[in-house]
Amino acid sequence: MTKTFYVTTPIYYVNDVPHIGHAYTTVAADVIARYKRLRGFDVHFLTGTDEHGMKVEKSAAEAMISPIELANSVVERYKKLWPLLNISNTDFIRTTEGRHKTAVDRIWSDVKKKGDIYLGHYEDWYCTPCETFLTELQLVDGKCPECLREVEKLTEESYFFKLSEFGDSLIEYIEKNPGFIEPASREREITNFIKTGLRDLSVSRTTFSWGIPVPDDPKHVIYVWFDALTNYLASVGYPNDDLKFKKYWPADLHIIGKDILRFHTVYWPAFLESAELPKPKKVFAHGWWTVDGAKMSKSTGNVVDPVAIAEEYGTDQFRFFLFREVPFGADGDFSIEALKSRINSELANDLGNLLSRSVSMIIKYRDGVVPDYVEASIGELENELLNSFSALSSSIDKLFAHLNYYDVLNEIWLRVREMNAYVGNCEPWKETDDDKLSTVLHLLAAGLKVLSVYINPFMPTASEKLRVQLGLSPSLEGKDFDDEISFLGTVNGLKVTKGDPLFPKVD
C-alpha cells in the first residue's frame, strides 16, 4: 500500500493580501510535500482561506463591499501567487464552501452531543484583529498583548466548549508523543500554558452574522477558530467520504506560524478528542519575519510582496533564501541585500559555477559525453567525496523528519563546496592521465545528479534545468529515489549540453 502524507498550511484570512509571511509557511509546506513525493509518498497538501468572522465582516464593511466579494478578490490573489511560487498543493479550501460547512455542522453536533458544549454568558475582552478573547490579566495597558491595539468588552449569550476538562489528556498526549509540537521550545511553552489551567472557551457569537450558524440556534454563529480549524478535516472528506478520510487523517503535519500555536495544539486537539477523532501527528510552529529589522505592517508600508520578489529575483532564488537565511523555527529578518548576497555567493558562484565548469569540461575533453570512471583512478580525494555523498541520504532524511531545512541546506552546500574544492585540487585542465580525467569528470556529473535530487524540494525549476544540462530527464516524478541518488556508474554516456547560467548574478 502506498504510504500517505498529509500536510497543511494555515488557511489565511481574507482581510489582508498575501505577503512574505504567508508565502513562507506555504513554501515550507511545499518543500516537505515535494520531498515526501520524491520518497514515494502519496501526498495530500492543503492550503486555503479563512473567510468568516468579525474581522472579515468589518474589513468588507469598510471597503463597502460584501464579505464574500472581499473574500473572492483576495482568493484570486492567492490563486495567482501559489503557481508563481511553484506551490504543488493538491487542494485549496475556502471556509465558505459547502463541504466545509458540512464538516463544521457535523463536528459541532458531535461535540454538543458529547456534552462538551453548553450555553452560558460571556463577558470579557475581545481583540478583533487577532480574533482572540482575553482576560483582564492578559491585557497590557488595557490593550491586546499581541498587537497592542484597543480591545472591546463583550457581554453576550454564548455557547462554551468545556476546554477546562481537557488539560490532563492534552498533557498526556504531548508526553506520549514526543515531536507532536516542534520545535521543542514551543512544546514547553504549551505545556506550561496548559498547566496554569484552561478556561472554558466561548465558541459562538451573536453580535455579527458573517459565519456558520450554530445548528439549531441560528442566532449564534460559530466562533471563527472552531470553524477554521475544521477545514483540515473537510479537505479529506469528513464526514461523508470515509475512504478518503481514513486514508489521510490524522494529518501528518500542520505547519503554522508561532502566532497560532495555541489554537493548533490546545483547542484543536481538544475539539478532536471530544469528537472522538484522532489528533494530528505533528504541529510545527515557525518564527516570524521582520523586514530590515522592523515589524512588518501596513501602516509602516514595509510589507514584502512575494509576487514582486519572485518576479524580480526568481521563484527558486526566493524559496532558497527563505530557508537558507534563517533556521526554520527561529525568527528572521528579510532584506533585499541579504537576498542578493545569497543569490550571488551560494547560488551563482557555488552551485551555478560548479555546473557550468563541469559541463564545459565534459564538452571540451569528452565531446559532451559523460565518461565511465576507472576503478584504478579512484584515489584519496575521490574516496573522500564518495564517503561524503554516501552519508548524505540518511542524514537528510532525519533532518527532514524535524523540518530542519536549514541543516538540510547546510548538508547540501557542504557537498557543493566539497565538489568545487575537488575540482580545484584535481585541476582537470592539467591532467595528462586519461583514466584519471575520465574519473574526475564522471564524479562531477554523478555528484551534480545527486544534488539535483536534493535541491529539488527547495528549487524545483533549478533542479530540472540542472538535469537538462546533464542530459537527464528533467522531472523526478515517478522516479525511484534510491536510483536517483546512487552515485558511481550511473551517469555514463549522458550527453550534456551547455545552458544558460542556472542562477544569473544580480546587482
Contacting positions for ligand ME8 (CB under 6 A): 10-13, 16, 21-22, 24-25, 50, 228-229, 231, 256-257, 259-260, 288-289, 296
For ligand ME8, the closer of residues 237 and 352 by Cβ is: 237
3-state class of 461 per DSSP? helix
For ligand ME8, the closer CB: 21 or 371: 21
Distance CA 256, CA 20 (A): 14
CB of 223 to ligand ME8, least distance (A): 12
Sign of the four-CA dihedral 207, 70, 236, 261: negative
| Nearest distance in Å: CB 387, ligand ME8 | 38
Which among 88, 84, 82, 79 is positioned nearest to 36, based on CA atoms?
A: 88
Q: Are 44 and 248 in contact (CB under 8 A)?
A: yes
Q: Which is nearer to ligand ME8, 16 or 418 (CB)?
A: 16
Q: What's phi and psi for 118, nearest 5 deg?
A: -135, 160
Considering beta carbons, is residue 334 or 422 the nearer one to ligand ME8? 334
Give the shortest CB-325-to-ligand ME8 separation in angstroms. 13
CB of 51 or CB of 187, closer to ligand ME8: 51
Considering the complex, what minimum distance in angstroms separates the CB of residue 8 from ligand ME8? Answer: 8
Decide: 442 and 4 in contact? Cβ < 8 Å: no
Judged by beta carbon, residue 50 or residue 187, the one nearer ligand ME8 is 50
Give me the residue whose beta carbon is nearest to ligand ME8: 21
Prior bond to 129 cis, omega within 30? no
Q: How many CB atoms lie within 10 A of CB 351?
A: 25
Instruction: Tell me how far, at minimum, the Cβ of 424 lies from ligand ME8, in Å.
Output: 39
Query: Based on CB atoms, which residue is closest to ligand ME8, 187 or 227?
Result: 227
Strands 253-257 and 4-13: parallel
Return the bridge partners of 369, or none: 495
Residue 201 has phi, psi (to 5 degrees) of -115, 130
Cell numbers describing residue 168: 490532563
Show the cell assigned to 74.
Answer: 483576495
Cα separation values, 289 from 132, 254, 415, Å: 22, 19, 29
Note whether 94 and 252 are within 8 A (CB): no
Nearer to ligand ME8, 260 or 370 (CB): 260
In whole angstroms, the minimum distance from the beta carbon of 27 to ligand ME8 comes to 11
Amino acid found at 9: T
Is the alpha carbon torsion for 396, 399, 403, 408 positive or negative? negative
Q: Report, in Å, the least distance between residue 9 CB and ligand ME8.
A: 7
DSSP secondary structure code for residue 301 in this structure = T
For the bound state, the minimum distance from the C-beta of residue 309 to ligand ME8, rounded and expressed in Å, comes to 14
